[in-house]
Structure 1
């Protein structure tokens, strides 16, 4: 197999991964809180070949060596946590974060022995519901999948039975009864917000959730920064953040990647045709 076939086949595999990534972004253009995925690539290997000494002529400035590439590979897929557009919903349990921040939620998992356990995850999807507590004492703010929203004390935010949440810009929740807003109220707690400092150290869990990589040496404080009381981070009740995918940008990049894939496919076909001609030569 010659160099052209190796280069083309390796590059086509990488471009196919890029196409899958773009397809995922386009499919989630209307998904609440979705963060677009971006890919990083690097050369697989680059060799420096030398031309024969006969190419060395007086006055010729070009070097005798030339680079020979062997394609590229996908090295990293990372979420872009840029702010998406915020839309009103008029739903009291819908929350959006204005600025850099993420909600903390409690996810039910299993440990290595198969026993029930909990894990902290992070999301920008603020489409919460009121979920009844297992002990029958009040309700919790939870995602549609049942993951409980956590407060600054690291515990789920429990709202008394028959009360409704009222949330200010700092994420402080006050519960009130119908027709008694500002009169009969109870403090609930404050939503904990964190900012991602090193997004490359987060793993995607699906459904817009992210978690710390499974590394015993990883310290959460080196990846996440608490921004609960910062003035440039606000919680907006009755709003939802939409996907930050720009459809026109994704479609433009999709066409570019398709053209590159097509070029490599033609190069592979041309190399195969040349080898076929060489094999069929008769002396």
Structure 2
């Protein structure tokens, strides 16, 4: 009976953690370049096995299920939809690669191209992080040339084209997306080396943005499913608690 309480509590905790992941996805459905996450549920061994007091497959009373647990959260690196914005500061990457931005003393990667030019001509993210060029320097243009520039700020090779200057944006690719660690809303830190995409592989969409990969309808359906699973576990806890209370009451009356 008490073991059932623990299993239900473990299930409620797992669904609560899953709810946090889904809520974060929903909070970022409008964040450009955001990559949604999903929780991986896994069957949990009994407490005796986790404490190394028994082994899986022993056939003993300890060889029973221990409910479910969150093993890990994974990021979905599938590109989000690319849509036009009419904003000349915006740019999206077609295909593989990430923009590189300077965050303190670290170089971060992002698919969010909702950049802006500061009054002194520096290209930054919405949070003020410098966008880097392919040579690793912050992108800087002549503010006077920008003020009189007509047409797009970028070309389809991912280069800034203002005032006669051509500055290739840093578009890099990690050896594997598994090397990327999420940092904030739409930034990633690579645990391994990254390389600049060769010129023939660079493809960009000026005046467009890669939207969030989180689908609000899918996330809402997952939230409803998770809420029901959480409530089921809570109801099981209540039922077992009432049954245990009734049993104890009968024992005390008989004594």
TM over 0.5: yes
2:158 is matched with: 171
* Deviation readout 1:39-98 (Å, 9 max, x if unpaired): 2232332455748xxxxxxxxxxxxx8952112222322321211111212222111111
* Deviation readout 1:209-268 (Å, 9 max, x if unpaired): 2213xxxxx5x32xx45325343x511111111111112211221122122112211221
For residue 236 of structure 1, the aligned residue among 187, 205, 208 is: 205
- 3-state secondary structure, aligned to 2:100: strand
2:77 is matched with: 81
- Give me the whole-angstrom Cα distance separating, in 2, the residues matched to 1:69 and 1:152: 53
For residue 228 of structure 2, the aligned residue among 259, 262, 265 is: 259
1:131 is matched with: 118
> Does the 8 Å CA contact 1:49/1:68 hold for their aligned counterparts?
no
* CA gap 1:16/1:230 in 2 versus in 1, 3 angstroms: farther
Does residue 250 (structure 1) correspond to residue 219 (structure 2)? The answer is yes
1:192 is matched with: 170
Q: Aligned residues, how many? A: 238
Which entry has the higher C-alpha Rg, 1 or 2?
1
Q: How does 1:96-107 map to 2 (within 5 A)?
A: 96-107=92-103
- Give me the whole-angstrom Cα distance separating, in 1, the residues matched to 2:36 and 2:200: 25
Uncovered stretches (5+) of structure 1, i.e. residues with no partner = 52-64, 109-117, 134-138, 177-184, 213-217
Q: How does 1:32-71 map to 2 (within 5 A)?
A: 32-46=32-46, 50=59, 68-71=64-67
* CA gap 1:264/1:197 in 2 versus in 1, 3 angstroms: farther
2:197 is matched with: 227
- 3-state secondary structure, aligned to 2:103: strand
More strand by share: 1
- 3-state secondary structure, aligned to 1:91: coil
> Does the 8 Å CA contact 1:159/1:175 hold for their aligned counterparts?
yes
Does residue 11 (structure 1) correspond to residue 7 (structure 2)? The answer is no
Q: Under a length normalisation based on structure 1, what TM-score does the superposition of the two structures give?
A: 0.76
> Does the 8 Å CA contact 2:83/2:209 hold for their aligned counterparts?
yes
> Does the 8 Å CA contact 1:85/1:244 hold for their aligned counterparts?
yes
More helix by share: 2
> Does the 8 Å CA contact 2:39/2:72 hold for their aligned counterparts?
yes
> Does the 8 Å CA contact 2:31/2:185 hold for their aligned counterparts?
no
For residue 140 of structure 1, the aligned residue among 104, 122, 132 is: 122
- Give me the whole-angstrom Cα distance separating, in 2, the residues matched to 1:253 and 1:186: 48
Uncovered stretches (5+) of structure 2, i.e. residues with no partner = 47-55, 147-151
Structural RMSD (CA):
2.4
Does residue 93 (structure 1) correspond to residue 63 (structure 2)? The answer is no
